């Protein structure tokens, strides 16, 4: 197949797409078109910024998608498209099917300087380092070729693209699997224009949803719920403690957004995740004549997240749910991933389903009212995420742990946002825990769950059990030659500084721990699967760990 005579230039505003398109088209003897010019023509002379302000991002992207689709049928054409065009799937498909896509990359500071000299004087409403970084992942995925333009003139960039096009353009266009590869968006999408303040867009087979992490987010809950669900009524499920502190803020925000709101409070504690309370919630929804188009809002910690998600997934065969976590553990773990469940016949989370929320709204300010032990508990999952996925996050925790424990707003928001992204990335790749990458989230959970069960779910909080379980996994990894001793020590120091346990509490019965371990969900064909660390960000799953090693490590942990 010959190479189409069609090149689309993508990149952030200020990378010179319009000028490069003109020069490249002149070198090729083709025509150059700026898609923003066509948008202005079809919008009565209004700029893209004016269209967004007056009609919203959805309408703007629809106009842009139609224009790019029409241009895709034309040959001998260089198209300079808007910086956010690849966010729209229809636009992205038009680009990569029409011909070759080239990303004009530049450092943010350089684009700032160039935009200040924009000859057309267009307003750039979406210009910030955060959006710049988020867009980069999408540009990288969509492009056949990338040119770093910082030190190059538009003429230089055009010549570089021309040389690449003539030398390898045909091979690049015809490479096997090209279309599928370029349309495979990042598992956690950068926030689109219609999701302001969103940390990420979580992508799953069941649907995509935004996660908002900010300080004071509950004051905007109504706006987020309306955008995510379109609901006119919302049913808030919470517990007595959280509803008493944050209920008025949440309910007022919903009502200010034009959403009628009612609330149901459970007793605090995991015991409220019961069949009896599920029946009570169903009766409550029925008495208020809840409809499938209404929304459920889960306002609380992990128990509320699990319970409200379960109710939403089962009542009327599914109602939209928005998770509004108020504990650190729920923000970084329970609210992301769609796991919902209730307890039954004394077994924790035995009845449940995977049911993804429409949005997650994590108001970091709610952590101010969290008891100290509950705050520290959440650090167990935060440290786990850093160990399995992010060396830079681990270093940040080591340097600024005291500031994090003091809930310094900017740092705490940054750390939680990164944890949401990590959990979202993993969940997006393996939504239903089918033995894929999501298994790495079980680091520390194998023995951690056994410690919880052996203590009757009373002696340890979940994050505390995970911390002790991570120390067990690290020592197992060291003894089988997987985990470096220096990493074991590094992990130990951080867990200890955080105020988390390094071992299970005294008095846990060894045989009960081993019995719980044998019933663990990670047992496959009779063999226990262990997540171990070869290094920071380098987890491996091993099914060949001798039981003698596990028992020896357990004995050491249980010894006085």
Our answer to whether residue 317 is catalytic in this structure is yes
Our answer to whether residue 381 is catalytic in this structure is yes
Considering the candidates 462, 478, 522, 529, report the single residue annotated as catalytic. 462
Our answer to whether residue 445 is catalytic in this structure is yes
Our answer to whether residue 127 is catalytic in this structure is no
Our answer to whether residue 492 is catalytic in this structure is no
- CA-nearest of 342, 261, 335 to 300 is 335
Burial 5-31 (b: 16+ CB within 10 A, else e): bbbbbbbbbbbbbbbbbbbbbeebebe
Dihedral, CA atoms, 427, 185, 128, 81, nearest 10 degrees? -170
Considering the candidates 385, 449, 478, 522, report the single residue annotated as catalytic. 449
Considering the candidates 425, 442, 464, 522, report the single residue annotated as catalytic. 442
CB atoms within 10 A of CB 251: 23
Rg (Cα) of the chain, in Å, rounded?
Answer: 26
- CA-nearest of 364, 367, 490 to 418 is 364
Burial 304-339 (b: 16+ CB within 10 A, else e): bbbbbbbbbbbbeeebbbbbbbbbbbbbbbbbbbbb
- Find the helix packing angle between 372-389 and 409-429, rounded to 10°: 50
The H or E element that residue 98 is part of is helix 89-98
- Tell me whether residue 125 is exposed, middle or buried, using C-beta atoms within 10 angstroms of its C-beta: 0 to 12, 13 to 18, 19 or more: middle
Our answer to whether residue 174 is catalytic in this structure is no
Our answer to whether residue 273 is catalytic in this structure is no
Considering the candidates 445, 478, 522, 529, report the single residue annotated as catalytic. 445
Q: Are 428 and 215 in contact (CB under 8 A)?
A: no
Considering the candidates 57, 381, 425, 431, report the single residue annotated as catalytic. 381
Q: Are 93 and 46 in contact (CB under 8 A)?
A: no
Task: Please list, in sequence order, all residues whose beta carbon lies within 8 angstroms of the beta carbon of residue 526, skipping any fewer than 6 positions away.
Answer: none
Q: Are 516 and 449 in contact (CB under 8 A)?
A: yes
Considering the candidates 438, 478, 522, 529, report the single residue annotated as catalytic. 438
Our answer to whether residue 389 is catalytic in this structure is no
DSSP string, 118-162: -TT----SS--HHHHHHHHHHHHHH-SEEEE-TT--HHHHHHHHH
Considering the candidates 6, 23, 220, 339, report the single residue annotated as catalytic. 339
Considering the candidates 227, 389, 423, 478, report the single residue annotated as catalytic. 423
- CA-nearest of 80, 67, 100 to 25 is 80
Tell me how far apart the alpha carbons of residues 280 and 286 are, in angstroms, rounded to a whole number. Answer: 10
Our answer to whether residue 442 is catalytic in this structure is yes
Tell me how far apart the alpha carbons of residues 132 and 493 are, in angstroms, rounded to a whole number. Answer: 36
Task: Please list, in sequence order, all residues whose beta carbon lies within 8 angstroms of the beta carbon of residue 438, skipping any fewer than 6 positions away.
Answer: 426, 427, 429, 430, 431
Considering the candidates 276, 317, 458, 511, report the single residue annotated as catalytic. 317
- How many residues are listed for the chain in this entry? 560
* Active-site amino acid positions: 317, 339, 381, 423, 433, 438, 442, 445, 449, 462
């Amino acid at each position: 197949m010959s190479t189409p005579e069609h090149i689309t230039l993508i990149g952030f505003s200020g990378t010179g797409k319009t000028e490069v398109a003109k020069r490249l088209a002149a070198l090729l003897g083709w025509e150059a078109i700026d898609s923003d010019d066509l948008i202005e023509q079809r919008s009565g002379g209004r700029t893209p910024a004016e269209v967004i302000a007056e009609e919203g991002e959805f309408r703007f992207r629809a106009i842009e998608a139609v224009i790019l689709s029409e241009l895709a049928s034309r040959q001998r054409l260089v198209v300079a498209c808007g910086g956010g065009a690849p966010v729209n799937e229809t636009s992205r498909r038009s680009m990569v099917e029409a011909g070759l896509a080239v990303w004009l990359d530049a450092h943010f500071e350089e684009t700032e300087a160039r935009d200040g000299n924009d000859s057309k004087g267009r307003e750039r409403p979406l210009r910030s380092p955060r959006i710049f970084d988020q867009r980069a992942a999408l540009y990288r995925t969509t492009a056949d070729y990338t040119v770093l333009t910082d030190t190059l003139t538009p003429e230089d960039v055009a010549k570089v693209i021309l040389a690449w096009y003539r030398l390898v353009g045909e091979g690049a266009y015809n490479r096997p699997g090209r279309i599928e590869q370029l349309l495979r968006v990042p598992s956690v999408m950068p926030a689109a224009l219609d999701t302001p303040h969103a940390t990420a867009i979580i992508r799953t087979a069941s649907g995509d949803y935004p996660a908002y992490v900010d300080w004071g987010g509950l004051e905007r809950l109504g706006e987020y719920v309306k955008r995510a669900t379109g609901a006119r009524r919302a049913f808030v499920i919470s517990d007595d403690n959280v509803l008493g502190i944050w209920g008025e803020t949440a309910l007022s925000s919903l009502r200010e957004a034009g959403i009628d709101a009612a609330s149901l409070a459970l007793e605090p504690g995991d015991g409220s995740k019961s069949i009896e309370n599920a029946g009570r919630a169903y009766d409550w929804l029925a008495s208020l004549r809840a409809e499938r188009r209404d929304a459920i809002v889960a306002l609380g910690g992990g128990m509320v997240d699990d319970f409200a998600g379960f109710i939403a997934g089962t009542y009327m065969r599914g109602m939209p749910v928005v998770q509004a976590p108020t504990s650190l553990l729920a923000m970084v773990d329970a609210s992301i991933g769609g796991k919902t469940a209730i307890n039954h016949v004394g077994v924790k989370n035995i009845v449940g389903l995977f049911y993804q929320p429409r949005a997650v709204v994590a108001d970091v300010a709610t952590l101010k009212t969290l008891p100290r032990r509950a705050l520290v508990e959440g650090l167990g999952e935060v440290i786990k995420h850093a160990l399995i996925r992010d060396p830079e996050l681990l270093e940040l925790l080591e340097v600024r742990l005291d500031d994090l424990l003091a809930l310094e707003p900017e740092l705490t928001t940054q750390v939680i946002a990164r944890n949401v992204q990590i959990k979202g990335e993993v969940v997006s790749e393996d939504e239903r825990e089918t033995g894929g990458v999501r298994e790495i989230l079980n680091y520390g959970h194998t023995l951690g769950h056994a410690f919880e069960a052996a203590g009757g779910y009373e002696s340890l909080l979940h994050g505390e059990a995970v911390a002790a379980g991570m120390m067990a996994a690290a020592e197992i990894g060291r003894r089988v030659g997987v985990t470096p001793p220096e990493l074991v020590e590094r992990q130990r120091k951080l867990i200890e500084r955080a105020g988390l346990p390094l071992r299970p509490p005294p008095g846990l019965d060894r045989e009960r721990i081993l019995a719980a371990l044998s019933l663990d969900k990670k047992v496959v064909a009779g063999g226990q699967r262990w997540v171990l660390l070869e290094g920071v960000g380098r987890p491996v799953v091993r099914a060949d760990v001798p039981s003698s090693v596990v028992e020896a490590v357990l004995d050491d942990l249980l010894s006085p």
